[in-house]
Every structure is written in C-alpha cells, then in structure tokens.
Chains A and B, each alone.
Chain A
Amino acid sequence: MLWFAVAGLCDDFKVFARDGGTNSVTVNSNASGQRWYESGVADLLREHCIDCHNPDDPAGEIDLVSLLDPLNVNPDLSRWESVLTQLVLGEMPPLGESQPTEVEKGEVVKRIQMELDKSGRRFDLFEKLDSPEFGNLVNHQKLFSGDVLDKPYSPARLWRTSPKVFENTKNRYGFDAQALRQPFIVDDKEGIKDYANLLFADSAVVDVLLMNAGDAADKLIERRSELKAIAEVEKGPNDEPLRIALSEHFVRVVYRDPLPSEMDRYVDLFRRTSIEAGSLESLRLTLMAIMLHHESVYRIEIGLGQIEDDGRRMLSPVELSFAIAYALTDQRPDAALLTAAGSNQLDDRKDVRKQVERLLADKAIDKPRILRFFQEFFGYSHAHKVFKDEKRSGGFSYYGENYPEMYERDADFFVLNLLEQDRDVFRQLLTSNKYFLLNRQTFRNTVYDFYLRNQQELDQDIFPESKQRELLDLVGLDDWGQLNKKYHLHKFNRGFNGSVRAIKQIVKEVRDWKNTTDEDKLLHGMQPLYQKYPMVYDLADDEQDFLLPQPYARPNRAGMLTHPAWLIAHSLNDTTDPIRRGKWIQERLLAGLVPDVPITVDATIPEDHTKTLRERLSGTEKQECWRCHRKMNPLGYPFESYDDFGRFRSRELLDKLPKVDGAFPSKSIDSTGMLVGTGDELLDGEINGALELIQQLAKSERVRQSMIRHVFRYFMGRNERLTDSATLIEADRVYVKSGGSFNELLVSLLTSDSFLYRK
C-alpha cells in the first residue's frame, strides 16, 4: 500500500471548480454593442493608439480612427482582428510608450473578441498561441525586456500520459506486458510534440486501452492466485478478499491508494455484474474498469498546494513529485521523491531544487527526456524519413542497417558528449566540429585492438581488474551496465559484459564479418555492409578509420547544422532544401515568424536542369515573394555548400543533364547571403558561407534566448506567455552565469514559478 494517498483529491477539485479555475472577467453577454464599446474600447484606442495611427501620418500606414465607431457600426473586421492581435501579443503599444494595465487590456481583449465571435468570423489567434509552431508569436524583445512584472504560472491542466511513461509503467498492468499496445500515440511531426493542451484521450486511445485492459485482466485472473480464487467463487466472494485484491490492483495501476468511495463503487460494479455473468466475468470487467481510471490516462496538475494572495496555487507535494519525475525521467516518481512528498520535504522551491539536482547528478537514473529535447528541437531524428535514392548517392544504403538512422545515432552521441561536458552547451552545439562516427564499429574495433594488445594474457584467461578497468576506460564507460545506454550495438553485442569470452566473440565477429585477413583493415576498417557509411562525413572509402579517438574533428563542419543527420532531415528526396532550412533557423534560433504560405501561391520549384537549385529559386526573390522569403532564403542558402546527403561540396552537379566525358556538368555553389531584420543587429549584414553564419549565430544573445524559449516549451509542455517573462529572464541569467550549463538551466526552469504554480 502506498502511504501518500491523495485522499480528498476530488474534494480539492471541487474547491477549485467553485471559483472557476480561470481568471476570467465576467462579461454581460446581453450588453448591446454600444454599451460594450463605451465601456473601455474607445477609451483605450484614444489613449494609446490614435496619437500615432491617425489619418494625418498613420504609423505603419495603419489608421485606426475609423475604429472609433463601434464594431457593429463599423464592420471593419480585419482591422479589429489586427488590433486584437497586437494587444494580445503585447506588440502594441510599443515599448517606451505608456501602456494600459493588464486588467484594462484583458477587459478590452475580451470585449473585442466577444463581438468578433458574434460576427461569426473565425479568429484563431488563441488556438495558434497554444500550438508549438506559433510559440514565437509572443514578442521576443518584450519577453526579455524586464518590463513584464506579472508573476509566472502555468494553467491548471490535465496532461495526457506520455507514450514513454506508458512503456515504462505498463508492466504494472499485469503479466506479458510487452504484448500491450501503445494507446498514447503522439503525432511524429517535427518539433516539440508532448504539449499538455494538444493531446487528448479520445476514442482511438480508448479502443487500445480497452483491448489492453481485457488482455491484461485475462492474464491476471489466470495467474494470480488471489484473483483466481475470487473468480472461482460462484456465489460471489466475501467483501474483504475482494476489496484487498481490487485495491492492490488499483495501487499498481493508478499509483495511489483508492479512496473509500472509489472502492465502494468498484465493489458495487463487481456485485452488480456478477449477478448477470458470474464472478469470473465480473472480476475481469472490474479489473478493466480500474485500468481505465482517468488518472492512468491524464496526469492532473491543478495546484493543490498553498494558495498565494494573487490566486496562484502551488503544486502539492504529490503533484510536484510527479511533475519533477515526468519532466526528466519518463518514469513515475522514485522512492526518494515519494518519501520527500510524504514527509513535508517537497513543500517549497528549495525542496524542489534539491530533488531536481539529485536527479540530475545521479548517473544511475536514466533521463532520456533531456536527449529527446535536442532530438525534437533540432529535428535531426527525422533523417530516416527522407528517402534518398541509393543509386544517386553512390552507395547510400537502406538495406540491413538504415544509414540515416545510424547518422541520427551519431548525432545523439554528439549531443550527449557536449551535455556531459556541460559547458557553453548551446554554442558548442552550434560550432563544435568534433563528431562521433558509427559508434558500434568503433566499439568493436576498440575491443579488437584491446585484445591484440593483451592477447597473451587473455588467451590464458588472465584478466586482472586493472585491465578490465582499462577496457572500460577505453570505451568510456563506468561499468558494463551503461553499455547499451551509450552504444547502439548490433543485437549480437548487446549482452557484452567485458568477460574474456565476450571479448573473443567480438574478435571472431570482426574477423568473420569483415571477410579479410588484412590486419590493418581488421583494426581500422568496417564491415562491407557499411562501406559507404562514412561518405557523408566526406570520407572516401580508403580514408576509413574506425579506431579513431572519438570524437573526430571534421573539416568544413561546425556543429549540428552541418551534421549529416540534420542536413538530411532538412532536405528533400532529391535536393537540398534551403527554404525550409532557413525557416528552421528563423524560427528555432532567431525566435522569428514566417507567415504560412499564402493559398494563392504555387510553391513548386521550376524545373530547369541547367540551373542550380539556388538559381531555380530566384523566382522567390520577386518583390511580392521576398517579403516572406527574405526571412528564410538568406539563412538557408549558405548550406548549399552541402548536398542533400550532407556531403560538403563546392560545385553542384547538374545530374539530370547528360554526362560529358563520363561526368555530369556542374556549377559553382553560391553560399553567400545578406541578412536583414534578424532581430539582432550584430547578425545583420553579409554572410559568406555556412561556417561564418553559424559562428555569428553562436555569438548571438537572441539565438541563446531563443533556444532557452524552446527548452522552456519542452519542459513546461506549453508555449511561453508574456507572463513567463520573469522565468525566462532568470533562466537566461543562470545559464550565462554558469558558463553555459544546461543542467543549471534546467534547475532554474524546474524551480521557476512557471513550473511550480498553477492558476
């Protein structure tokens, strides 16, 4: 039995529900158009807008005088939408001008929106504001200005169980849990995926849950003696064994003690059903009902802790224990978190810091969510979805091991290495040219090398502890238990335990699989199946060396944006993709916005086999296109120095033209660009090539802050709002002060008001 029962959770909900759980301002929906308008909208326009937006010299060529008539008199809906957008995003009035109070602004926003709703016009700004791809709608400058004084909080919320948490906890459902299917599918799109407000447990989820619950219940009854005994009592079991059995199952699945009222309901369900169908079927059904409990579907973050004067509620110790665990580990809270929650040691920010620091410091605790952030942020783990023609590449392979998946794992290694150093992490991610190549082959060759150097002793089974330690150091492990966390080995090698026998098995495989007796190839080369694997790192077949000290510096590269996995993930099937690469940089690194493609635009690239892709894209430089494309193309063009397989190049092959003298014609790459209006003056100007662009980006304060905004989104499971300003400014300060420590950044965010409070 768990001792930290959340008894009274539902009662607390009721208290919460009574005051609405929102900050909403009561609006008289019967008020006439004139009355709503008179009560503040016109005043706000007069006081804060009309001075600049008047017909004499309208700022931005926007004249708002016409809006001094009420909306129902002047149905200029587009202009009203524009006013509403500017107000919500805090874009207007501009910084430095007198500002309406948040209450005034909130009131006016509500009123304008209500009138727009009445007009039947769909206004989707609020939906967009909740969606990861529109996170940048919140003004960056204002967010980091220090002018926003609101105290941060997250909305009270239900957050659907993550697929990874389900994978890690499904064995609590019963036996043969590996056969249970994943109910909590998350769309595998680019970017941050697990957003609390976007994921629902709908009928698709319930179908799978039901099937899982039925299968699990069958096996439980079959194999657990106490359940089998209940099922076999035809006239119905006594209350006590039934309650104990159901309660135990509840604790396993829902991870808390059931309330007495909950237990009464389950017993009632059992009794009613058993009259119809007997004990066996009734028990099966009741176990299923427990497995479908809403708390195993949604985690609940209402804020059941202390209430502040301003209405914010702190998460309760139990809520905090789950929030901290799920933020970092994909697991339910561990014993230390539960103990802290149950003994008044998870009551305030200091307590939370202690737990977060403990989890981060303990290497034995898996924290897969940290690497996943970088996978989702950079999007490099989509490389395997962009199919490349094997023939065109000269050897790119999808047979056996899938090359792009292997490049993705190389990229994981690149990130993990920098996180281990935990210094200047963002800049290093953007600029380090030290890569890891095919770790499984490097692992094998290292073991082979170790064997050759110690063959005499090993063949006599002499393997002292100091030597065992040496092997561990060589492959960068503290113990063999870490092996499969660090390396993605061939399935034959995943059980490697450092024994002499295991070493000799690898030696045998190296010799058998490489199909050669040439010792140099055995030591430095790789299996024929992966012969072409290193080409994306600009390594020719005869340059292969897989006994390299890793990481391995590569020329013409800088950081993740020139890593083959990133370049492939952000390419098309048969070409590079400067526009989307530029959009990625604009949105992820520059906190910028690129409008959706207008529906009237035919976004296909004209075919002309005599031109480079950049030349073919010149159509986007027409005035009407350039308004948007200037935000993308100049950022993407420098990466034309790499082909769509990620190989460095100085010329673009025109491979759809006939060959001349056995080779395709080619043209020089133009990787220059001119940056304007990036939001960081130091960045604006001429750019000569990808490496120069990357170095500039890595120095930019805006880029650092933009990355921090994304870290915030991922760990809070939502977009930032202006009210999160204090959290972000502090996170940025801590990151800089700590010399670019990602761990310190995480501690700052996970102890912030945005994380701790709900409203």
Chain B
Amino acid sequence: MASTRRELLKRLSLGAGSGLLSPFLQQVTAQAEGHSSKRPMRFVFVVKSSGIVPEGVTPKSLEGDDARNLSMADIELPQSMSALEPYKNQLSIVQGLSGKMCRGGHSSWFGAMGVYMTGGEHNRGAILRATADAELARISPAPFSHVGLAVRGPALSKSYGGTMYPGITAVAANKELPFQGSPDLAFEQLFGSAVSANGKGQKRFSIQRNLFDFMVDDIKKLEKAVPVTEKDKLDAYLNAFEELQVRHSRLTEMKGSILDGAPQFTDKFTSEVEEVRQEAHFDIATAALISGLTNCVTLRLDNLSTIYKNLGLVKPNHGIGHDESSRTQVECRDLIRQHHTSLLAQMAGKLRAVPEGDGNMLDNTMIIYFSDASNKHHGDCLEWPYVVLGGCSGKLNIAGRYIRFPKYGEQGCRTIGNWWTTLLNAYGNPIAHYGNEDLVLKQNGVSVRGPLDELIV
C-alpha cells in the first residue's frame, strides 16, 4: 500500500497542470516521501450523544477529583475501553475541563465545539462562528476540506439517512456543515470518481464535468454584458465553478489512490442496522483519510433515538439516559462504550498500518471522541471528557497520558475554551482564545484565557 501510494502521488503531482492544484499536491507528495518538514495533520471528531460520564472513562486506579497528569503505561484501562489497550501509548484521556458557557441538557449543539451558549431542546440555535473542527479542517486542506458523516441527526430528532444537519459543526457564522447520513451515498460522493457500487457514481461523477463546463461557459458569456463595476460578483460565481472543475480534475487524477484506498462496497453500506451503519461510516472515514481525499472528518455517531439492538439493548439512548432500561444505565453505557471504542480501535489500526514518513498515518492523526452533551444524559457541562487517540502529528504532549484538570471553580480549573484554543494553537492557528469565557469563573477571578500551554509541544 505504502509504495503504491507514494508512487501514485508522485505521478499525480507530475500530471497536475493547474496552479490551484500544485501546492496541495506538492505537500502531499513530500509527506509521502517523508521529506516534509511539516508533518501531515489529520483530524477525526467522533461525537456521541447522551454525554460521556467521566467515571466511565476513568481508569479504576485513578478515580477521584484531584488534578493529574501522568503516563498510563502501567495503568489498566476501564474494561469497556479494553479495545484501546494496543494503542495505549497514543491514547489520552483528558478530564475536568468545564463548559459552563454552553447550554446544558440533551445537547449543547454548536456550543460543544463552538464554545458558547446556543439552542433549546429542539432548536439548534444561532451559529455564531465556525466550530473548532471546521477551523482545524481549514488548517489542513484536501480535495474534500471537511467531511461530515452522520449515523443520526440532531440530538432528539428521528432523521435518518440522506443529507443531515445535526447541529454540531459550522463552517462559518450561520453556515452549518452538511453531513451525509447514508453510507452508500457517502461512498459514492467520496469514492464515486473512481469506484462505485453500481457504476452510477462514476457515471455521475464523470458527467459532472459537463455541468461545470456548461456553467463556466454560460457565465463567461454573460460577463461581457455586465457593468464593469459588477464584474467581481459574476467572477465569484464563475470562480466557484472553476474550483469545482479543478477538484474534478484532481479527483480524476487521484483515481488510482482512491481505488487503492476505497473500501470494498458491501451490503454494510446499505444496512439499516445502527451498529453496522456506524461501522460503515467509520470505514468510509478511514478510507477517505488514507486516500488523501480529506484530512478532516466529523462523525456524528448516534443520537438519542438510536437503539443499539445488536448490543442487546432495547431502549433508545434517550430511554437509557432516563433509566427506562431493565439494565442499569452504567451497564448500558459500558456496552455502548465497548462498541464505540472497538470502532475507534479499528480505525486506529488501519491508520497505523499505513507507513508515512518515519512512522505511520496514526502518528499524524488526532481522533477525538466526546459528546455534544458533555458529561451525562442531561449534560451540566461541569466537566467535558475527551478521549484522544493518535500521535497528533507530534504537536501535543498528551500521547499515552491521563490528564485531569482541577474541578470546576477550583484554582487552576480550565474550560473547553482553553482546550480548543490549545488544539488550534498547536496546529498553527494563533487565535488568542477560542470561544466565549465562563462568566461565573471570570467574575470569581479564576477564568484564564488562552491555551493549555503544558499540553503543547
């Protein structure tokens, strides 16, 4: 795989005629050959519903409230996370960060990655800014700059399949990232330029070029007739289609690497079983990263309507959160976590198998697993646990460590604003502070703006 990929990328860059294309390909080629001074940067945001209960991800020997930052080398992970044991040296558990500037309840919506209060029970609310995942996607461009995959939509909705807007990721103020809810459609959209289940995707991809060419030609004709002062507006429209032409060419040229990386199309991609659809989305996300189609995926893993029937559960997440299940909430959550972490482990395994530079692709990837409902079913945002997997391109001092910040309100306590600022700063966005501040902490003089310096290499 590795040598094929390297050769392919080399071929690709030689064949690339477009000026727009070159910088991206040069970067990727250099990375493949291990010559780049700048390591590749990939991000995967795996967002579950119903909160991550801190006790569920805390190793037994580390239970308690005290602040910690220690190696997990000799620490046993919770049983429900045992799938991650083989990756422990690149696993981090980060706890204690609060998010009281966000709305609590069933979902904090865009606040979870946008760090502000928005939305109501059924209302996704205002979009103030690009969420942190979208900001990170911008740092590491690729043909598909940010891929959104969703098994389910907004927290309490029953929406299922097709284009979905789960209310967690925004690419700019007032602009939500569309998520693909159907694995088969996601497969076609991402890999359809090179391979598809029934040939429709390739055909559709191929003729798209006609549409883009038609639009470019049409708009150019009009340009001659538009007042000089208004030409910029038409140019913007024209450029958008020209960019699509370029992406089309790029994908056409990447056909080989896409073919190499694309998963085998099976009935997994059309399954209606939730756990299988999750696996399908993970497969697609992993393959899209390996093929170089994208460097950033946000994966909405489930919502409160999801029922994990294959795991033997009969109540949806909402019912489990309200203790309606015959099993205890802890048991249900353990089962679900075991399933989720095995999906994370599969992704990590596939990325680790692909050599890259002196290491492998997992070294240059950051997979963050967390919930849009902070710490419980009705999240109170007092704590927002994160489980991180991957080498994070060597940017962060967290691999293999268990990190717990002081409790909310105590000296040294920190917020998710600090966390996302840390990530943005570490990866090259110099923002002074990302998101809103916690007003209560601020009034009490314990609010600190800026990154968590100790986590940045």
Contact = CB atoms under 8 A, between A and B. Distances in A.
Contacts of A188: 126, 173-174
Contacts of B165: 181
Contacts of A1: none
A157 B227 contact: yes
B125 to A, nearest CB: 9
A387 B219 CA distance: 45
B352 to A, nearest CB: 33
B357 to A, nearest CB: 32
Given A211-B163, A285-B210, A302-B227, A204 B237 contact: no
A387 B225 contact: no
B244 interface: yes
Contacts of A294: 218-219, 222, 234, 237
B103 interface: yes
B229 A156 contact: yes
A20 B226 contact: no
A288 B173 contact: no
A206 B216 CA distance: 12
- Chain B's interface: helix, strand, loop or mixed, by majority? helix
Contact of B207 (A155, A207, A281, A292): A281
Contacts of B234: 158, 294, 298
Contact of A156 (B178, B203, B230, B237): B230
A573 B437 CA distance: 10
Nearest to B247: A203
A171 interface: no
B117 A206 contact: no
A160 B233 contact: yes
Interface residues on A, range: 35 or more
Nearest to B175: A185
A398 interface: yes
B374 to A, nearest CB: 16
Interface string B328-355: 0000000000000000000000000000
A273 B207 contact: yes
A289 B208 CA distance: 10
Contact of A201 (B175, B203, B233): B233
Contacts of A293: 218
Nearest to B176: A181
A289 B225 contact: no
A306 interface: no
Contacts of A656: 443
A211 B225 CA distance: 28
A17 B221 CA distance: 12
Nearest to B221: A10
Interface string B202-234: 011011101100110011011011111110111
Given A10-B222, A21-B229, A188-B126, A272 B237 contact: no
A278 B203 CA distance: 9
B224 to A, nearest CB: 6
A289 B214 contact: yes
Nearest to A303: B227
A577 B175 CA distance: 29
B173 A201 contact: no
Interface residues of B, number: 52
Contacts of B239: 202-203
A26 B42 CA distance: 53
Nearest to A266: B214
B224 A17 contact: yes
Contacts of A278: 203
A17 B226 contact: yes
Given A204-B175, A277-B204, A17 B236 contact: no
Contacts of A387: 101, 116-117, 436, 439
A14 interface: yes
Given A16-B227, A188-B174, A402-B120, A203 B243 contact: yes
B139 to A, nearest CB: 18
A499 interface: no
Nearest to A160: B233
Interface in B243-271: 243-244
Most B CB within 10 A of own CB, among A13, A16, A656: A13
A573 B172 CA distance: 23
B173 A206 contact: no
A185 B440 CA distance: 33
Interface string A255-295: 00000000001000100110011100110010011001110
A282 B207 contact: yes
Nearest to B127: A188
A179 B163 CA distance: 9
A200 B233 contact: yes
B155 to A, nearest CB: 16
Contacts of A179: 163
Most B CB within 10 A of own CB, among A22, A185, A400: A185
A536 B18 CA distance: 60
B241 interface: yes
B227 A17 contact: yes
B240 interface: yes
A54 to B, nearest CB: 38
A156 B211 CA distance: 29
B128 interface: yes
B227 A269 contact: no
Contacts of B121: 400
Contacts of B221: 10
Given A276-B203, A282-B207, A13 B103 contact: no
B102 to A, nearest CB: 10
A278 B229 CA distance: 42
A215 interface: yes
A385 interface: yes
A205 B227 contact: no
B227 A281 contact: no
Contacts of B440: 389, 391
Nearest to A215: B163
Interface in A316-333: none
Contacts of B174: 185-188
A156 to B, nearest CB: 5
Interface string A569-591: 00001100000000000000000
Contacts of A434: none
Given A273-B207, A285-B211, A574-B439, A155 B222 contact: no
B63 to A, nearest CB: 30
B377 to A, nearest CB: 16
B225 A14 contact: yes
Contacts of B240: 201-203, 205-207
Contacts of B227: 16-17, 20-22, 155-157, 302
A278 B204 CA distance: 10
Contacts of A10: 221-222, 225
A526 interface: no
A88 interface: no
A746 interface: no
Nearest to A572: B439
A506 to B, nearest CB: 22
Interface string B407-426: 00000000000000000000
A13 B233 contact: no
A211 B206 CA distance: 17
16 contacts: A13-B226, A14-B224, A17-B225, A181-B163, A187-B173, A200-B237, A201-B236, A201-B237, A202-B237, A204-B172, A211-B163, A265-B218, A278-B203, A281-B200, A385-B126, A400-B121
Closest 8 CB pairs between A and B?
A13-B225, A21-B227, A206-B240, A203-B240, A200-B236, A202-B236, A156-B227, A277-B203
Interface of A: 10, 13-14, 16-17, 20-22, 155-158, 160, 179, 181, 185-188, 200-208, 210-211, 215, 265, 269, 272-273, 276-278, 281-282, 285, 288-289, 292-294, 297-298, 302, 384-385, 387, 389, 391, 398-402, 573-574, 656
Interface of B: 101, 103, 116-117, 120-121, 126, 128, 163, 165, 171-175, 178, 200, 203-204, 206-208, 210-211, 214-215, 218-219, 221-222, 224-230, 232-234, 236-237, 239-241, 243-244, 436, 439-440, 442-443
